[in-house]
């Protein structure tokens, strides 16, 4: 196909600590279609979601920095339309792929996107494009956290913010791995939501007696690993509930607060630990074949219907910023997905 010289994209001109200010500053611009180097592919984007990590980038709080102005977006799905040279880029040309990239270059919120061929996963037959656009960040994080919990010897796993999209994905994956999940949410409606999805253990952190209930359940099921995307005082609370040998894997900062309430006595005498988890580092520690196998296994869950990302809205460039604010205000309601060429593309 003949490629255009320019493309439309969502552009971030400047960061802002206030998320609403950062979202309001986004603009739609014409930018050059990015050029290719050997080992890279050019992807005509079909769908690209917003994740909490994207919002952190808008606030300049994410671990990857970009030269501004820049196009945000860490993941998406599209068709490979050009190769920069090399066997893998040549092999992927013409295929639909889930893609990601965290280098200092334009991201996925655009009509075209360049990334390394090794950061693409070909879509299986029957894989929906919108669901495929959300294949990497949440599903891989859910699977990786469960892998980490198993490697740490935990018999069960506590998950905070369990009504999130990632939290809902952990339910069938943990069931497959036969790992009991203790799902912690904040509201009665979220309790009902997760019970409707088949969750056995759901705890409302705003209910009276929550701390005692969580502690008793951790001890009964042998939960010594917790996955925490919230931070703030909850980190110390769940660490205390797990007791001896408890480890909290912090993989997000939804509260906007530092991890708190951590008892130094527990760290010293109970062998308790708090450490970060970043999917990018986890992926880099695995080989490409292992990632491909895991990606195909996750896709089969999507194709069969056991995994699914809830979608609040599929929108074009002009409506994207307004929908981002709605997503930031209520993430339980589902993802916002940019559709650069329209929903039928």
- The DSSP letter of residue 325 is H
What is the rounded average pLDDT of the residues 16-29? Answer: 97
Question: Do both 100 and 144 map to the same domain?
Answer: no
The pLDDT assigned to 92 comes to 97
CA distance 249 to 314: 32
Q: Strand 6-11 relative to strand 27-32: parallel, antiparallel, unpaired?
A: antiparallel
What's the pTM value of the predicted model, to 2 decimals? 0.93
Q: Which DSSP helix (H) or strand (E) runs through 291?
A: helix 288-304
Question: Do both 125 and 90 map to the same domain?
Answer: yes
In a domain, residue 129? The reply is yes
Provide the pLDDT confidence category of residue 122 given band limits of 50, 70 and 90. very high
> Residue 179 sits in a domain of what CATH number?
3.40.50.720
Sequence-distant (6+) residues with CB within 8 A of 248 are: 225, 226, 227, 228, 235, 238, 239, 259, 273, 274, 275
CA 133, chain centre distance (Å)? 11
Question: Is 2's pLDDT higher than 90?
Answer: no
Question: Do both 244 and 320 map to the same domain?
Answer: no
In a domain, residue 202? The reply is yes
In a domain, residue 78? The reply is yes
The residue among 280, 301, 320 that closes a domain is 280
- The DSSP letter of residue 63 is S
What is the rounded average pLDDT of the residues 121-146? Answer: 96
Question: Do both 84 and 122 map to the same domain?
Answer: yes
In a domain, residue 296? The reply is no
What percent of the chain shows pLDDT beyond 70?
A: 99
Q: How would you classify residue 222: left for phi > 0, otherwise alpha for psi between -120 and 50, otherwise beta?
A: left
Provide the pLDDT confidence category of residue 282 given band limits of 50, 70 and 90. very high
The residue among 240, 262, 280 that closes a domain is 280
CA distance 302 to 131: 8
CA distance 68 to 107: 12
Question: Do both 124 and 151 map to the same domain?
Answer: no
Question: Do both 152 and 102 map to the same domain?
Answer: no
Question: Do both 59 and 166 map to the same domain?
Answer: no
Q: How many domains does the chain have?
A: 2
Contact by Cβ (8 Å): 8, 32: no
Question: Do both 87 and 13 map to the same domain?
Answer: yes
In a domain, residue 79? The reply is yes
Question: Is 179's pLDDT higher than 80?
Answer: yes
The residue among 236, 261, 280 that closes a domain is 280
In a domain, residue 300? The reply is no
In a domain, residue 239? The reply is yes
> Residue 114 sits in a domain of what CATH number?
3.90.180.10
Per-residue pLDDT reduced to its tens digit, 51-98: 999 999 999 999 999 999 999 999 999 999 999 999 999 999 999 999
Question: Do both 261 and 211 map to the same domain?
Answer: yes
Question: Do both 130 and 149 map to the same domain?
Answer: no
Question: Do both 81 and 95 map to the same domain?
Answer: yes
Domain that holds residue 271: 140-280
Question: Do both 82 and 10 map to the same domain?
Answer: yes
What percent of the chain shows pLDDT beyond 90?
A: 96
In a domain, residue 125? The reply is yes
């Amino acid at each position: 196909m003949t490629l255009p010289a320019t493309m439309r994209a969502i552009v971030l001109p400047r960061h802002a600590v206030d998320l609403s200010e950062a979202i309001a500053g986004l603009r739609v611009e014409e930018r050059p279609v990015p050029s290719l180097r050997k080992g890279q592919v050019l992807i005509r984007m079909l769908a690209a979601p917003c994740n909490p990590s994207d919002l952190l980038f808008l606030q300049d709080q994410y671990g990857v920095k970009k030269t501004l102005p820049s196009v945000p977006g860490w993941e998406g799905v599209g068709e490979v339309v050009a190769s920069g040279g090399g066997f893998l880029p040549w092999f992927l040309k013409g295929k639909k792929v889930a893609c990601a990239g965290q280098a200092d270059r334009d991201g996925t919120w655009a009509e075209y996107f360049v990334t390394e061929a090794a950061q693409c996963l070909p879509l299986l037959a029957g894989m929906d494009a919108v669901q495929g656009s959300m294949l990497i960040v949440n599903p891989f994080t859910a699977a990786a956290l469960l892998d980490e919990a198993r490697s740490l010897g935990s018999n069960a796993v506590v998950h905070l913010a369990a009504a999130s999209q990632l939290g809902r994905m952990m339910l069938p994956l943990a069931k497959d791995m036969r790992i009991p999940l203790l799902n912690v949410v904040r509201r009665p409606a979220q309790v009902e939501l997760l019970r409707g999805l088949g969750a056995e253990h759901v705890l409302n952190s705003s209910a009276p007696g929550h701390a005692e209930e969580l502690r008793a359940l951790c001890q009964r099921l042998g939960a010594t690993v917790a996955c925490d995307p919230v931070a703030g005082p909850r980190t110390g609370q769940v660490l205390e509930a797990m007791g001896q040998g408890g480890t909290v894997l912090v993989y997000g900062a939804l509260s906007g607060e530092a991890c708190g309430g951590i008892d130094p006595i527990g760290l010293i005498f109970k062998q308790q630990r708090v450490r970060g988890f970043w999917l990018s580092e986890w992926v880099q520690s695995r080989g490409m074949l292992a990632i491909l196998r895991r990606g195909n296994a996750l896709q089969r869950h999507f194709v069969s219907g056991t995994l699914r990302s809830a979608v609040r809205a599929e929108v074009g460039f002009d409506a994207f910023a307004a929908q981002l604010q709605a997503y930031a205000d209520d993430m339980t309601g589902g993802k916002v997905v940019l559709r650069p060429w329209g929903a039928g593309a």
